[in-house]
Chains A and B, each alone.
Chain A
């Protein structure tokens, strides 16, 4: 079976006062229905990789290589065609939810607008049902309070779950989660892990899960890509990476994870 997403020899360079090679010849593929983990430390290029898939990089970034999604080369797409993909076909959950909601509109208004603009649901009442369903899936039960609140009135955890609800309401074929839990505490983190597993098992989502926490990879992912200073160091099944890492960097990562754990 053909993979859902193929990333071939992607290189990203930030051009400015100082040249900065953020990614160097990164290749991997994502199969339909799997959770692929991308792990690396701060500055290893994880977020650059996530944003380059949707071509959301700043202008100073120069991208080379090709990305193939459902058989078409999306790196050659024009902006309007990409716009169609964003949200509807490929959803992205950013790291900091507070920065991704507009502070002057209520969460419900923004959610409604997203569904309307993307043409996901034409009828206003249906949209309301859709929003409620999505919020429940993301473990938010007090739907009216969430929808009528402004972003600053909600906690970080609630806002992050509202963002997840917004993204999954569009039922994208590919979900990119960029460290969705790193600003949350363990009780919420644990709930979200099970939410992602349910999304995959019950609704057939394909997920790219970006993190620096090996524990999350262990709990959630099927395969892992290890990123270090912009290069792919290792790519294998979860079990073989954790039990028998081959690369030096992966080894040190596993060691420091074990040291914290025991």
Chain B
């Protein structure tokens, strides 16, 4: 059984100019002790999915199961979700209270879950900060006194402090320099082995994903278009959108027609797709082209 099972989640937002189909029937699973990555361009619904899992948004329909238990409605299962699923946000500068020191930030996180006295907690917090590579000099610093990389480490420490099973990483390195990003990825890999964590890694950068992920899901405007093992997605990409994303990472992609279609019916990618035919007006079936590798396209 998968650790987290997302079944046919739909989330629409009503906007003045029409309905935004942010998530349009997403099926996904997160495996235990592995990294599952979700890739796609800005605005395709990656962050909406993360927020829906955490219960910040209530889906219009569909189910989310954690170890077989329904967590779609967070109100009934709040404790289960908060104890087991944590998140690291994209922008570290916006994810901390500016009036709290590093220590106070973590203390608040610990207190939310455990009954632990101030005296006992100190050793615990020191250990937690050391595990993400923050030394003594950082304990009493405020967010504005730390750099982006240091704050992102603190953000990871806060997510891990109550020993969750799943950590959602919402573009954790995209606001960082490349050398800092590599260090953060190394840290994440180390912590995963130590604590047997499952990561749900959200990114638009297929190069980063290649380094860290075991499973890759490719999303385009609210729908999953292809998923499989990392080796399958990088070795034999089958959906035209996956191929396009891989080209974009190498800066080979030259032209990309104006923003994509947001059709309710049929293949979402059909307006941009070079192979588009009339049949694409119908909903593409899920096709298993090799074990574990699924594609939603009429031409595979």
Most chain B CB inside 10 Å of its own CB: which residue of A184, A190, A257: A190
B251-270 near A? 1/0 per residue, CB < 8 Å: 11111101000000000000
Contact (A191, B211) CB under 8 Å given A141-B258, A213-B178: no
- The answer to whether A191 and B179 touch across the interface, beta carbons within 8 angstroms, is no
Interface residues of B, dominant DSSP: helix
Within 8 A of A (CB), among B167-209: 177-182, 185, 204-208
Find chain A residues with CB under 8 A from B281 CB: none
Instruction: Decide yes or no: A187 and B244 within 8 Å by CB, A42-B177, A155-B43 being known contacts.
Output: yes
Known: A42-B148, A214-B178. A186 touches B211 (CB 8 A): no
Report A124-157 CB contacts with B as 1/0, cut-off 8 Å: 0000000000000001111000000000000111
Asked if residues A190 and B253 are in contact (CB atoms below 8 Å), the reply is yes
Contact, CB under 8 Å: A186 / B252: no
CB of B204 within 8 A of CB of A185, answer yes
Q: Tell me the B136-180 residues at the A interface (CB within 8 Å).
A: 148, 177-180
B174 vs chain A, min Cβ distance (A):
9
Contact A190 B251 (CB under 8 A): yes
A79 to B57, CA, bound (A): 53
Do A155 and B42 have beta carbons less than 8 Å apart? yes
Contacting A at CB under 8 A, from B206-254, are 206-208, 210-211, 244-245, 247-254
Contact string, A219-241, partner B, CB cutoff 8 A, digits 1/0? 11000000000000000000000
A256 within 8 A of B: yes
Determine the distance from Cα of A139 to Cα of B258 in the docked complex, in whole angstroms: 8
Whether B41 is near chain A, meaning CB under 8 Å from some CB there, is yes
**Is the Cβ of B251 less than 8 Å from the Cβ of A185?**
no
> A186 with B208: in contact, given A253-B179, A256-B182, A257-B178 (CB under 8 Å)?
no
Given contact pairs A155-B43, A191-B256, A261 touches B207 in the complex (Cβ within 8 A): yes
Task: Let me know if B254 and A191 touch, CB within 8 A.
Answer: yes
Closest to A261 in B: B207
Contact status B247-A190, CB under 8 Å: yes
A194 CB-CB contact with B under 8 Å: yes
Q: A41-B177, A190-B256, A212-B178 are in contact. Are A219 and B251 (CB under 8 A)?
A: yes
A-B CB proximity, top 8 nearest: A219-B251, A190-B248, A190-B253, A186-B248, A185-B204, A185-B42, A256-B179, A194-B254
> Can you report 5 residue pairs joining A to B where beta carbons are below 8 Å apart?
A42-B177, A139-B256, A184-B42, A191-B254, A215-B207
Could you list which residues of chain B lie within 8 angstroms of chain A, going by C-beta atoms? 41-43, 148, 177-182, 185, 204-208, 210-211, 244-245, 247-256, 258
A contact residues vs B (CB 8 Å cutoff): 41-42, 139-142, 155-157, 184-191, 193-194, 212-216, 219-220, 252-253, 256-257, 259-262
